[in-house]
Structure 1
Amino acid sequence: MLCTPSSLYLPPSPKPNQSYLRNSHSPTSEHLRTDLLHTFNSPFELKQVHACFIKTSTPLSVLPLLRVGFVCAFTSSFSYAQQIFERVGKPEIFVWNSCLKAFAEGDSPIDAILLFYRLRQFDVFIDSFTCSFVLKACSQLLDVSNGRIVHAFVEKLGFQSNLFLQNTILHLYSSCGAMGDAQMLFENMSQRDVVTWNIMVTQLVKRDDIEGAYNLFSQMPERSVRSWTSMIAGFVQCGKPKEAVDLFVQMEEAGERANEVTVVAVLAACSDLGALDLGRRIHEYSNRSGFGRNVRISNTLIDMYVKCGCLEDACRVFDEMEERTVVSWSAMIGGLAMHGRAEEALRLFSKMTQIGMKPNGVTFLGLLHACSHMGLINEGRRYFASMTRDYAIIPQIEHYGCMVDLYSRAGLLQEAHEFIMNMPIKPNGVVWGALLGGCRVHNNIELAEEAIRHLLELDPLNDGYYVVLSNIYAQAEQWEDTARVRKLMRDQGVKKTPGWSSITVDGVVHEFVAGDETHPKTEEIFQRWEKLLEEMKLKGYVPNTSVVLLDMEEHDKVKVLHRHSEKLALVFGLMNTPPRTPIRIMKNLRVCEDCHAALKLISAIVNREIVVRDRNRFHCFKNGSCSCRDYW
């Protein structure tokens, strides 16, 4: 076992003036005692102070005992320190525990473990505090081996009834990933408190065992705000935002007040769900609770408003922030890009760099998305080159995917293909998928077939790729190839994801599936649609049946078009929300060309702003036009 610390917990001090040692006059001795009393750095200097104390009859109780412990802990003068503690009449374990605490909470927790072994070497009687500080150091270092040894001492010395110690050991095992040991200890504990349960729930959440965490959470005899927050955050992390929001409502009903961490977790859930009403309510609660200066909450609010289609609210939060981090700027740039306001995103980036804020990889993702969604080819090339040249940021696979998407959307399919071939890292499904998407828009069957060959190896169960290739064949009226792709999907056990759209009215989420007639107000929705359709036709609307890539009669294609999920959600919104208020729709797939044209017309007919969040971006329809400028 090592007996030399990695670092001593001592502030720097000047070297002793050697002239003090040569001069025996009392003033010099007094100077020595004053200068070295709180700054001695070695046993030698400590002994000089001690000698002065003897000479001047100064009591040893004046000595800073914690510093004595630090200076002697890892030297041959350990027993000398023990003698000093004995003379002073101070229990030595009290001083050593103070040293252990400082080491465990400082920059070198390994020193707490080393000191623990020194205490055992010199037969110092340890207590429960000793064990707790060393266990904390083990947790900091994720050192389960030494933690087990301390656990054995806890058992040997009869500290099993100390709940704080038991919780500390439980935290050690679970944070080190020894969940089997943690579970065994948890089950055998004679008593538990809310901290005990929280430790287990939190660690299970961290290990993505959301089911196990929720089972324990459900059994808790009492819950703290941390219990609720851990579980809510866990649901968000594993892609279950609805469950997170439902749990937050239960938390409110239980009378528990959300803290800043809870607010961040719930806002993240609102972002995923598009739950604007709840997001606004949480924003108001945050302001009332004095959380307004919390940068992380403000950043999450920006993200929430962006993803709920309220870009102006996001801008307002950004403008009101007293302090902004690179996350704040990146979230706002990405939000502007997602809403088709590329020029503003680029201007904001320019402002960011002018004030000296250094961008990161996420910032450039937002910039490249902005360029991709608006077809800004030259700007996209320039920003991609600037990443490495100006900021030493090495592009990741996501940045390469953005560039392929930029070229592919613009119809530069050969350039996109060459870009993929020259990538310094292996392209993934997202990269080849971006090329495939461009092939669909620009009807390039040859490159589409190459892309799908790679995609079938990289992501064989992704239904979206099969559907895109099938649609490309259908657009070219190659029905045999279309059927072959459909058969391949069946053989692979891949099912097409049904398109759905959702709209929230009075806090209730209503979901519509394409062609679905199960909604309780289906008849009213269809009747309202027919009336709306008459007005649309007067404005020049003609159904674009080319987007129905099925081999069927024309009138059947028209019927399919009119039952697209976003149209059903829109009509329901028109029927159930006040005039002139915005309608916000969330969609899991890309908006088709016919729905895009229809929603532009409807926005002018009903004088409403219609905001649709599809798989790739936002479309804000207003006065007969869309924020994407028909480039998506």
Structure 2
Amino acid sequence: MMKKKMYKWGVYVCSLKHHYSTSSSPSVTTFFNKFVDKSNVFSWNSVIAELSRSGDSIEALRAFSSMRKLSVCPNRSSFPCAIKSCSALRDLASGRQFHQQVLIFGYGSDLFASSSLIDMYSKCGELEDARLLFDEIPQRNVVCWTSMIAGYVQSEHPRDALFLFKELLVSESESVGDEEVYVDAVALVSVLSACSRVSGKDITQGVHGFAIKRGLDEHLGIGNTLIDAYAKCSEVGLSRKVFEEMAEKDVISWNSMIAVYAQNGLSSEAMELFHSLARDKEVKYNAITLSTLLLACSHAGALRPGKSVHDQVIKLFLEDNVYVGTSIIDMYCKCGRLEMARKAFDRMKDKNVKSWSAMIAGYGMHGRAKEALEVFYAMNHAGVTPNYITFVSVLAACAHAGLLDEGWHWFRAMEHRFHINPGLEHYSCMVDLLGRAGYLTKAYNLINEMKVLPDSVVWGSLLAACRMHKNVELAELCANKLFEIDPTNCGYYVLLSHIYADAGRWKDMERMRIIMKNKGLTKTPGFSLVELKGLVHLFLVGDRQHHQHERIYAYLNKLSIELQAVGYTPNMSSVLHDVDEEEKGLALQVHSEKLAVAFGILNSIPGETIHVIKNLRICSDCHTTIKLTTKIVDRQIVIRDSKRFHHFKDGICSCGDYW
């Protein structure tokens, strides 16, 4: 009789798993209520597990509660899925209650319940409790080790995760018989995630070698994580090698590799890989793929490919996807088409905090702080709570426009009203705002009062302000800090040499050049991009490789005469002092943005706006030249440099000469 009853339950449970493995949880609940014996714990366990697996964590917890109300006692299989639901909901209070019940029912030594609790405490931000529980387990299995390693990774403690992995290897070497521990693929995925966060090539290669030795390198999850880990070490080639050698690829594999290209500014490679994916009959691209492609277009300022991806979004009816919609906003903002970004923003039915933040950031980078703050106020009115990134966007907008009072107000409100502790990005914005407004001492004092250790971006902002306001003494202090933090970044040496040049301290400028030479540091070459008729043209400083270079230089010579007629005088303060005045003027004339603008004027119809992207900050001479050029040629010229957008029209720049 008992065997017959057990068979009956087994049929119901198997039928439940088979029939509703891809169904929604209401269907699972309906089936359970109608057909399954509610007095049996195995039936409840199956339903709780299925609800948890399908992502309906609240219903899973309700099912557990219903089981207890019927006085059905949980067994060792009841707790892991229920605790997993607490993890998904970040419900620490319920998680602690389950921990108590685990102990009450005598499953405190059950490894699977313990592993679930470790995961729950980690995801709820209670890493100390997770580690305390881990340390109390006398004989740990690989699941316990993996849960704790993953907890460290999720809590942004990757070095602790790697240290624990070393302990796991020792434990593995010492384990025998029934207590044997063996590192599996799931554990290695967490370890490689830690490698991604520490950006260590040697560590990543070591773990990769371990995976090969264990025969786990063909595991799909390991391959996907390796792509990202190598990319974080700036090893794009190794990421591609892993991708190419993967025996099996899923959409995550393709998305990861496309993201690697996007994050490294390789938009053409990202688009080529997408076209390969589109031809693949095994894998179909998804919303994440398109969001990643839009990111690639954003970084490159590639409008035409961006529009093409937008067309795909429309065809697939994904415009209402909040993540894709946000990526579209970001793409149009960074391609200099703010009005198109606003249209995309207004069309979104549902906006999350990222959508609002993207629109605020877009207005900010274009120098339209008033509109940025209006969107921020509308966001608050809509009941959307701003987050860490939102305030970076708000403060950056204030910094770009020189809105000192508004900047201070929201910097204080962020902490006192919204309970968000300022981070490096917020401090950097405030230092930039204070510094450019001329309050160098206040900016320096703010750095000394920071609650986090200032990084190169913070000190770099103050160094740039020192050049603007010609404060050599403070500039030297900032530069020395930067040389300690990031000794191989040539940009800081170059900036200090320019500050010395502006002050006429040529010997100190020469000293900087010698230091750079001795350290093997070379200045990042400036380049500018201009897109015309679907083709992107690249210009370097003094470029004579372009097929129209003779025509471009002839036009610049003609334009130079017209500029001087309207009062232009070359700003030669930071050009090498050991060349004559004529050579200095020629050196300024061949800056990449001037070449790109000249090419754009020569090859576009009268009145057409010219869009240029520059990899470095635009220099003051080019800024003045392009302002005056717009009056002469009656054109609007938009330049995106490394800091912001400049909209030049009728001899005026949108930045108000404040950049």
TM-score normalized with structure 2 length: 0.70
Conservation of the 8 A alpha-carbon contact between 2:542 and 2:591: yes
2:212 is aligned with 1:183: yes
Alpha carbons of 1:442 and 1:216: their partners in 2 closer, same or farther (altered >3 Å)? closer
| In 1: Cα distance, 2:429 partner to 2:540 partner | 30
What's the counterpart of residue 583 of structure 1? Answer: 610
Distance in structure 2 (CA, Å) of the matches to 1:221 and 1:449: 54
1:235 aligns with: 261
Alignment-derived partner of residue 205 in structure 1:
227
Shift of 1:303: 1.2
1:174 and 2:189 correspond: yes
CA RMSD of aligned residues (A): 3.9
- Kindly indicate whether the alpha-carbon contact (under 8 Å) linking 2:259 and 2:292 is maintained by their aligned counterparts in 1: yes
Contact 1:499–1:587, Cα closer than 8 Å, also in 2:
yes
Offset at 1:562?
A: 0.9
Call closer, same or farther: CA 1:385–1:72 in 2, change over 3 Å.
Answer: closer
Deviations 1:541-571 (Å, cap 9, x if unpaired)? 3333335354321111110111010011111
Give the secondary-structure state (helix, strand or coil) at the position aligned to 2:531.
strand
Q: Quote the offset at 1:380 in angstroms.
A: 1.2
8 Å Cα contact 1:369/1:402 also seen in 2: yes
Quick check: 1:463 aligned with 2:490? yes
Runs of 5+ unmatched residues, structure 2: 1-32, 45-65, 89-98, 114-140, 151-164, 193-206
Deviations 1:467-513 (A, max 9, x none): 11111111121111111121122222222112211223344332211
Q: 2:484 corresponds to which letter in structure 1?
A: E
Q: 1:139 to 1:300 in 2, by over 3 A?
A: farther
Residue type at the aligned position of 1:324: K
Tell me if 1:298 matches 2:325: yes
Paired letter, 2:403: L
The aligned counterpart of 2:420 is 393
- Structure 1 Cα separation of the partners of residues 190 and 448 of structure 2: 43
| Aligned counterpart, 2:303 | 276
User: Mapping of 1:387-536 within 5 angstroms?
Assistant: 387-536=414-563
Distance in 2 separating the partners of 1:424 and 1:185 = 45
Tell me the SS of whatever aligns to 1:502: strand
Q: How many residues align?
A: 520
User: Relative to 1, partners in 2 of residues 1:104 and 1:421: Cα closer, same or farther, differing over 3 Å?
Assistant: closer
CA shift, 1:588, in A, is 1.5
Question: Does the CA-based 8 Å contact 1:173-1:179 persist in structure 2?
Answer: no
Match of 1:364 among 363, 385, 391: 391
Bigger shift: 417-426 or 175-184? 175-184
The code of the aligned residue for 2:322 comes to V
Q: Deviations over 1:330-385 (max 9, x none)?
A: 11111111100011111221221122221112111112112211211111111111
Shift of 1:413: 1.3
Gaps of 5+ in 1: 1-33, 46-65, 76-95, 118-133, 157-167, 189-195
Deviations 1:158-180 (A, max 9, x none): xxxxxxxxxx9645543454655
* Deviating more after overlay: 592-601 vs 242-251: 242-251
> Equivalent residue of 2:536, what SS?
strand
Matched AA of 1:371:
C
Q: Could you list the per-position Cα deviations for residues 11-53 of structure 1 after superposition, in whole angstroms to 9, with x for gaps in the alignment?
A: xxxxxxxxxxxxxxxxxxxxxxx9999554889x9xxxxxxxx
Counterparts in 2 of 1:241 and 1:136: CA distance versus 1, 3 Å: farther
Q: Matched residues in 1 for 2:439 and 2:216: separation? A: 62
Offset, 1:390: 0.8
Q: Is the 8 A contact 2:185 2:219 kept in 1?
A: no
Residue pairs, 1:320-359, within 5 angstroms: 320-359=347-386
Aligned residue in 2 for 1:93: none
Secondary structure of 1:208 counterpart: helix
Alpha-carbon distance change, 337 to 519 in structure 1, aligned in 2, over 3 angstroms: same
The 3-state SS of whatever aligns with 2:380 is helix
Which structure 2 residues correspond to residues 125-136 of structure 1 after superposition, within 5 A? none
Q: Which of structures 1 and 2 has the larger relative contact order (alpha carbons within 8 angstroms, sep 6+)?
A: 1
Structure 1 range deviating more: 613-622 or 547-556: 547-556
How many Å apart are 1:277 and its aligned residue?
A: 0.7
Give the match for residue 13 of structure 2: none
Post-superposition offset of 1:236: 2.8
**Native 8 Å contact 1:204 1:212 kept in 2:** no
Q: Using the alignment, how far apart are the partners of 1:383 and 1:73 within structure 2? A: 51
1:140-164 Cα deviation digits (max 9, x unpaired): 7768989999xx99xx9xxxxxxxx
CA distance in 1 between counterparts of 2:478 and 2:247 reads 55
SS state of the match for residue 417, structure 2?
helix
Q: 1:214: which partner in 2?
A: 240
CA apart distance, 1:317: 1.1
In structure 2, what is the Cα distance between the partners aligned to 1:573 and 1:252?
34
1:142 and 1:176 in contact (8 A); partners too: yes
Question: How far, CA to CA, are the matches of 1:598 and 1:301 in structure 2?
Answer: 33
TM-score normalised by structure 1 residue count: 0.73
Instruction: Provide the C-alpha distance between the structure 2 equivalents of 1:468 and 1:115, rounded to a whole number of angstroms.
Output: 58
How far apart in 2 are the matches of 1:584 and 1:223? 38
Distance 1:616 1:448 in 2: 20
Greater C-alpha Rg? 1
AA aligned to 2:625 is A
For the 8 Å contact 1:236–1:265, the answer to whether it is kept is yes
CA contact (8 A) 1:408 1:439 kept: yes
